Structure 1
Amino acid sequence: MCTVTYIPAENSIFLTSNRDERIDRAPAVPPECYCVNKIEMIYPKDAQAGGTWIVLNGDRSAAVLLNGGFKNHFYQTPYRKSRGLIMLDIMSTNSPADHFQAMDLKAIEPFTIILLTQGRLRRCTWDGDHKHLTELDATKPHIWASVTLYDRDMQLQRENALIQWLKETRQVKPEAVADFHLGANMRYETSNAPHNANIRTVSVTLLALSTDRRASVLYHDLHSGEVAAKRMQTQASGTPLLFNSFYWKTRRFWIRLRHWEYWPFACLYLPLVPLWLWLSLRARSLLFFSAANPGIAYSGFIQERKSDIYPLLPEGLYPKGVLCKTGMSAGEINSVLRESSLDFPLIAKPDIGERGIQVELLRKPADLDAYRSRSKVDFLLQEYIDYSHEIGIFYYRIPGNKNGQLSGIVGKEFLSVTGDGQTSLLSLLMQNDRAVLQLHALAAVFGDQFDNIPDSGEILTLVPYGNHSRGSRFIDLHSRITPGLTDMIDKVCTQVPGFYFGRLDIRFKNWEELEAGRHFSIIELNGTGSEPTHIYDPAHSLFFAWKEIYRHWEIVFKISMINAHNGKQPLMSLKEGLEMKRAHDKHLNLMQALH
């Protein structure tokens, strides 16, 4: 009940628990099949209270219990029911998460349940006063340790141990996962945890759910040294697991291979390195772009803070929002939201962003709680701008010129499917290459709706914001550039201090009102790190993309050289550039870290 891992592998998911208990507690009963409220289950049974700490259902639901909530608590007797029995109450229903939220937990000792149902991974926490239901990323590995025995430093050591083990393990199999949990670093009595001589790791229990609907429980009794195993043929399809199969990996590979717009960043830009070096030679600096936007940190290449950029924009032209610092509690964030009169739905995004990572639409408080608990960086919460159109407009102005120019417009079609009244949501997704590339992420949000059949003509928007890495289709709308639109955007951009080159991501009601300067909002303003994203229109060739990228490099080179020559801002030194890159890499690792 004290150290738990969730590990998704190629054809399986492993949910494993180390049970740390007092040495004088009666040995548990090894896993057996039980029927509770007409629901088949496999679980080991606590011989003293009759409950369990880990359970597998016939419908592929699985759960594991950890003692304590978010922090260590004072033991207050009498508690009216054991947490292991509470877990059985929750898991012997058709909707465990809903039952957790509905049940009365007064006079129950704080606990946490890691719950896997229908491909969704959630954390159910009772802190003694309130319930918390947090959505987790089911496509990534996780590790938890009970707060009653392990402090934050020990939990971080366990996180690092899992990360290192995953790096060193070529094939994740049940035996390897069990060995990880049986290792000295994971067992209470041989780890660096604050030592209590009366407590030991008494068992390791592993649940393995495979793509072929088979599931098994492997139980290591460390008292007796015996190993027990039980198998179950489950009923559900295991769809999220299926997406890790060889077929789906191969299909995703061929989709990316055939469409250069999905190629990795390095593959797209590596052939352009000689041109970058040519501009660097002319500027006598690899950072020839770094004086282009004196008003933005690092000219907006990387590491610029959105919270510093939004105030540069004219008042009322960007979404209202608040900055949430790392480590802020749910209460503190809710207080800030009330003070700012912000309500759901909200857009959450890292203050220092990177290609759409951790940008999410939060529809309810539980979504915010989940996002807050996962985030390890400062983030913004903004009002959701519900205009139907979203575009990216690339703008530049040569220093000394009165007016700027628009060098490209990209339209963004959100990832969506249209129902026909006969086909399930999952089947519709499988027919859409863009959706196939997003199946893991979509399963975490829509997994419990995959069997639903949308009505004929019903349009279901799956990702309600225009991010290419999240499935949006980009369309070159260069034909939409008009003198009126250019003039309107130029009037906005010339009010932004020290801004000469970059992209504005805009949501708006319709084209006529946008050109008139009404009913639009600047979702983001990006600097020299901006791509001319109209290149990602599927109609464009790779050679067109290379030509456009270099054209914009020449523009930023010219702007930066003029600003540097005029003394507005010197070019960054190589040392400053390396420091910027190191800070960026560190920040990116935090955003992508195990959580």
Structure 2
Amino acid sequence: MCTISWFYEQEAYHIFFNRDEQRSRSKAVPPTIFNDAGVEYLAPTDPQGGGTWLSSNSFGLSLALLNFYQGRLPKGKLHSRGQIVKALASCASYREVAQRCNSLPLQKYAPFSLLVFDPAQNLNDAPMLRWDGRELDCAIQSSPLISSAKLFDEVVTSRLSLFKSHCMDGKVNSVEDFYRLHKGHAGGQGNAHSICMHREDAQTVSLSHIYVNLKNKQSNFRYWDGAPCTIDTPQSYQLALL
């Protein structure tokens, strides 16, 4: 289970990503600056698969990957989906992301949804590549996007209702509005229905906030390393844009 939301400003955008994982999963490594063929990018690392679920590079392009549990698992041994983000993290545009993704051996990966964010984009919706285990499709996705393996319909309905009442319906929202949602237990008192969730087997293990601004030529990555409802001050990382 994961939840991502976002909004755009003039030549800028914000991403908010709650990562939900099994309690038994190894703790992720906080964001680090990587260099791929001369292109720097910020990304946390999942030590279990060596990949990442979220990246932001010096072109101002950010990628976010969520599991697509409603797809069909390919046969055979599968690679970590987090490696896909690392393979694409140095791309300069959505077009390049799509071209590179098409060239990957996708039959070796479980289904996923990959969102692409670019500060030059004019709309709040984000282009998305979705691998369902058979085909790679291109789509346009509205905020938010929710991923869940259990109780999918119930969880999505509950969380969408929260976003609609707090951050949609024509409202002018602030970063703090999104923080309250992503760090809070509204709608579920901390169970699977709330955005910051806590179950016996799984919980929200981090919150990431990426802010990319072309005017300031900077990507800011704020990272709550743990259940965000328990952390007041996040870790903060910066990356200069080209």
Instruction: Output the TM-score relative to the length of structure 1.
Output: 0.35
Any idea what the Cα deviations from partners look like across 1:112-155, whole Å, max 9, x if unmatched? 1111134272111111111011134xxxx610111424513321
| Compared CA separation, residues 50 and 156, structure 1 to 2 (3 A) | same
| Compared CA separation, residues 154 and 75, structure 1 to 2 (3 A) | farther
- Deviation, structure 1 residue 92: 2.7
AA in 2 matched with 1:114: L
Any idea what the Cα deviations from partners look like across 1:47-102, whole Å, max 9, x if unmatched? 22211111001101111110116x255696621x2100111112233411221123
Any idea what the Cα deviations from partners look like across 1:348-388, whole Å, max 9, x if unmatched? xxxxxxxxxxxxxxxxxxxxxxxxxxxxxxxxxxxxxxxxx
Q: Does 1:128 align with 2:129?
A: no
- Deviation, structure 1 residue 191: 3.5
- Deviation, structure 1 residue 14: 1.1
Considering fraction of residues, name the structure with more strand: 2
Provide the rounded CA distance (Å) in 2 between the counterparts of 1:74 and 1:195. Answer: 27
| Compared CA separation, residues 186 and 85, structure 1 to 2 (3 A) | farther
- Alignment partner, residue 143 of structure 1: 144
AA in 1 matched with 2:90: S
Counterparts of 1:207-356 in structure 2 under 5 Å? 207-212=210-215, 213-222=217-226, 225=231, 227-235=234-242
- Deviation, structure 1 residue 103: 2.0
Provide the rounded CA distance (Å) in 1 between the counterparts of 2:188 and 2:178. Answer: 14
Preserved CA contact (<8 Å) 1:30 1:45: yes
Provide the rounded CA distance (Å) in 2 between the counterparts of 1:188 and 1:109. Answer: 31
2:201 paired residue among 193, 198, 202: 198
Q: Is the partner of 2:86 in helix, strand or coil?
A: helix
Any idea what the Cα deviations from partners look like across 1:19-45, whole Å, max 9, x if unmatched? 111111111111111112322100111
Higher relative contact order (CA 8 A, sep 6+): 2
Provide the rounded CA distance (Å) in 2 between the counterparts of 1:167 and 1:181. Answer: 15
| Compared CA separation, residues 135 and 192, structure 1 to 2 (3 A) | closer
| Compared CA separation, residues 9 and 149, structure 1 to 2 (3 A) | farther
Q: Does 1:97 align with 2:95?
A: no
Q: Is the partner of 2:98 in helix, strand or coil?
A: helix
Provide the rounded CA distance (Å) in 1 between the counterparts of 2:31 and 2:189. Answer: 22
- Alignment partner, residue 22 of structure 2: 22
Provide the rounded CA distance (Å) in 2 between the counterparts of 1:88 and 1:150. Answer: 30
- Alignment partner, residue 174 of structure 2: 172
- Alignment partner, residue 87 of structure 1: 85
| Compared CA separation, residues 164 and 62, structure 1 to 2 (3 A) | same
| Compared CA separation, residues 131 and 218, structure 1 to 2 (3 A) | same
Structure of greater Rg: 1
Any idea what the Cα deviations from partners look like across 1:524-555, whole Å, max 9, x if unmatched? xxxxxxxxxxxxxxxxxxxxxxxxxxxxxxxx
Structure 2: where are the runs of 5+ without partners? none
| Compared CA separation, residues 208 and 201, structure 1 to 2 (3 A) | same
AA in 2 matched with 1:228: Q
Preserved CA contact (<8 Å) 1:27 1:46: yes
- Alignment partner, residue 161 of structure 1: 162
Provide the rounded CA distance (Å) in 1 between the counterparts of 2:76 and 2:190. Answer: 27
Provide the rounded CA distance (Å) in 1 between the counterparts of 2:188 and 2:219. Answer: 25
- Deviation, structure 1 residue 214: 2.3
Counterparts of 1:320-399 in structure 2 under 5 Å? none
- Deviation, structure 1 residue 159: 2.0
Provide the rounded CA distance (Å) in 2 between the counterparts of 1:3 and 1:187. Answer: 14
| Compared CA separation, residues 67 and 25, structure 1 to 2 (3 A) | same
- Deviation, structure 1 residue 197: 2.1
Q: Does 1:61 align with 2:66?
A: no
Q: Is the partner of 2:182 in helix, strand or coil?
A: helix
Q: Is the partner of 2:106 in helix, strand or coil?
A: coil
- Alignment partner, residue 43 of structure 2: 43
| Compared CA separation, residues 74 and 196, structure 1 to 2 (3 A) | farther
- Alignment partner, residue 121 of structure 2: 119
Is 147-156 or 23-32 further displaced after alignment? Answer: 147-156
Provide the rounded CA distance (Å) in 2 between the counterparts of 1:89 and 1:152. Answer: 32
Preserved CA contact (<8 Å) 2:51 2:80: yes
- Deviation, structure 1 residue 189: 5.0
| Compared CA separation, residues 203 and 186, structure 1 to 2 (3 A) | farther
AA in 2 matched with 1:16: F
AA in 1 matched with 2:205: V
Which 4+ residue blocks in structure 1 deviate beyond 6 angstroms?
none
Preserved CA contact (<8 Å) 1:18 1:205: yes
AA in 2 matched with 1:4: I
AA in 1 matched with 2:117: L
RMSD over equivalenced CA pairs, Å: 2.9
| Compared CA separation, residues 160 and 192, structure 1 to 2 (3 A) | closer
